[in-house]
Amino acid sequence: MCSRREQQNVDPCLDGKLMPAVLVEQEEDEEEEGTDDSSSSNGSSNSAGEAAGVPTFDVPYFRYIDEEEDGETEDEHEGEEEECSSSSYSRSLSSPEDDFGDSSVSRRYGSAWGAATPYRALGHLLNHLRLEADGSHTGSRDSDTILYDFLLTYLVYMSTSDLCQSLLGHYCSKRSTACEDMTDILLRKRKILLIVSQWNTLYRDFLRDNEYITLFLKSLYRFVLDDLYDYPSLEKELKDFQRLLSIQHRHTVDKSSPYRKSKGVHKQISAQENWLHPGTMPREEREVLYRLYVSEDSYISVKAQSSVRAQHLLSLVADRLDCLQEDMVLAALTYAGEKALLPPQDSVFSDCLSSVERLQVYRKDLTPVMSPLTDDAQQQQGTTHLLGLNAWDVAITLTSFDWSLFECVHEPELICFTCSRDAYVGHTGALERLLQRCNEVQLWVMTQVLLCSSLCTRVQLLKKFIKIAAHCKAQRNMNSFFAIIMGLNTAAISRLSQTWEKVPGKFRKLFSELETLTDPSLNHKAYRTTFKKMKTPKLPFLPLLLKDITFIHEGNKTFLDNLLNFDKLHMIAESARLIKHCQLDPMGDMLRPKDNPDMTCVKYLHVISSQETLFDLSHRLEPRP
């Protein structure tokens, strides 16, 4: 048994930041000379360092709340709303005490990783990974979990540059232990390449357009290319690396190579690569939720591509407000009062707008399209239109819209949004859009009710939104469900006592039952229990999931006595893993919205963003006694 570890033989260029000229242009003789001078590279680097089911939404139709007959009650349909699948996911949104008390993986982490510092965590990971003889991953459950948790949560305790340095350090080390032979070295190198491949798969767009990571991948590729002389079986990994880097390569044999003379079985490979520059890589079109302000305190939310033209946005606003597109212009407005008119054919990029700017729709004479408080005729027209829509169809439209946003959310976004050491600006867009949509649905509920001046119509609207909330729960869309219930529970709506008194008792009872699911007592136990029983696909309430991750991060120390607390990282990864579980099955055709132009008001929500305006409308409807 080996009793001591040899110090790692890491190239001097790895101590500190990556140096492009040194790493990319490094010669073989320099590498050989560096073998004798690697006395303290490891000691100074402590700080650097599911099968899918049936793709359907099997949900019942809440017919009883769509019928006004007194003979029907909620009890006839109770119990049909959800079915607990035998393969229901054990984690869901339950508390950490329920999930990690019996976790064998968590106990294994405590024993295997408890004594790990950030740099040596990679060394422990390499010891736990198991590869087949051909270099393929064995795929055991514990090994997969350890690898997934490490890659997902490394940003909690080290930066991306630290990870790159650690990966290069372990790969370039000639011998990590005194008893390590050539087979063990080859196995370690293959493990490093597997980690890099899995890292790229998990983080996807997070690694794009990052010059430091591009430099790291190029450097690692050159090291793999050089290792082909001694380890020709790495050719498979090299080809995978080339596909990863999108390299256009050509292999040639150098007849004068000393390797060809001394090692006839090996080929001298001189790769002439044409690296695909990040700026020339085709960028994926991403969707953005544009806020198009039509008055001082209200806007229309529109989902469109990031390269959308101003003319297209104006056409959507014209359809939503039932007015002529030719009478409107789009401008970028700053809080300083400056207006920059956007030509119709110009592309509108949200990234070009700073946090103090917004898109404003004006008439040709640069007056607002709508006044802050519209007249009664316009108010009644908007609310009457919503009352004419089927509540189930409205819920389907909300669920379909939310799912289109939710399926673009990836687990690393939760980590980067809550507890990342690196600043990934623009890479949490999918998560931020879903959070924005949740807030807008809440404001939309308030806006629709408060813009209705008729008492009887407001009562009908409250009944309509209670129906929609129940349907969203039946469709397992807890994001919109919470948004609607919270919108009805806001002070501006709940204070309308005269309106609530007119709501039939059946609907008030149903609202009270739905409201219990939003009860925050016992750490949202009612919601967590209900959501855990729901089958996939399902949409969680994202703000609560982010709160869980934040509490785990802030309530547990990352280091205990200068040792890495891997149980904390496992809990964070388990919480983030909920996203992957909820997305296991695609949304079935049952909940595909029909092409109904009347649903434009649901797809493109018109909301009042000013809380002051909302309270003013509430007091106008029912003044204080």
Residue with tokens 């790692």: 8
Contacts of residue 120, Cβ cutoff 8 Å, sequence gap at least 6: 46, 49
Instruction: Indicate whether 28 belongs to any domain.
Output: no
- Residue 92, Cα to own-chain centre: how many angstroms? 17
Tell me the residue range of the domain where 462 lies.
377-537+585-621
At residue 561, what are phi and psi to the nearest 5 degrees? 55, 45
Residues 313, 454 within the same domain = no
**Could you report how far apart the first and last alpha carbons of the chain are, in Å?**
86
Residues 300, 334 within the same domain = yes
Residues 314, 397 within the same domain = no
Residue 578 contacts residue 93 (beta carbons within 8 Å): yes
Residues 149, 219 within the same domain = yes
End of a domain among 221, 250, 279? 250
Give the pLDDT confidence score for residue 138 in this predicted structure: 57
Instruction: Indicate whether 264 belongs to any domain.
Output: no
Residues 382, 426 within the same domain = yes
Give the pLDDT confidence score for residue 159 in this predicted structure: 85
Residues 240, 116 within the same domain = yes
Give the pLDDT confidence score for residue 578 in this predicted structure: 92
Residues 118, 201 within the same domain = yes
Give the pLDDT confidence score for residue 347 in this predicted structure: 79
CATH number at residue 148: 1.20.870.10
CA-to-CA separations, 583 to 52, 100, 122, 146, in angstroms, rounded? 9, 23, 29, 21
End of a domain among 250, 265, 300? 250
Residues 404, 446 within the same domain = yes
Helices (H) and strands (E) in the chain, counts: 26, 8
Give the pLDDT confidence score for residue 278 in this predicted structure: 39
The closest of 350, 362, 354, 351 to 314, measured between CA atoms, is 362
Residue type, 481: F
Residue type, 412: P
Instruction: Indicate whether 524 belongs to any domain.
Output: yes
pLDDT tens, residue by residue, 392-436 = 999 999 999 999 999 999 999 999 888 876 665 567 888 999 999
Instruction: Indicate whether 94 belongs to any domain.
Output: no
Instruction: Indicate whether 20 belongs to any domain.
Output: no
Under-70 pLDDT residues of the chain? 1-119, 132-143, 175-180, 209, 247-285, 349-356, 372-383, 421-426, 588-591
Q: For the chain, how many structural domains are there in total?
A: 3
Residue 361 contacts residue 294 (beta carbons within 8 Å): yes
Instruction: Indicate whether 233 belongs to any domain.
Output: yes
End of a domain among 250, 273, 299? 250
Q: How far apart are CA 226 and CA 530, in angstroms?
A: 56
Instruction: Indicate whether 564 belongs to any domain.
Output: no
Give the pLDDT confidence score for residue 175 in this predicted structure: 60
Residue type, 479: N
pLDDT tens, residue by residue, 67-101 = 444 444 444 444 444 433 333 333 333 443 344 33
pLDDT tens, residue by residue, 269-308 = 333 344 444 333 444 567 888 999 998 889 999 998 888 8
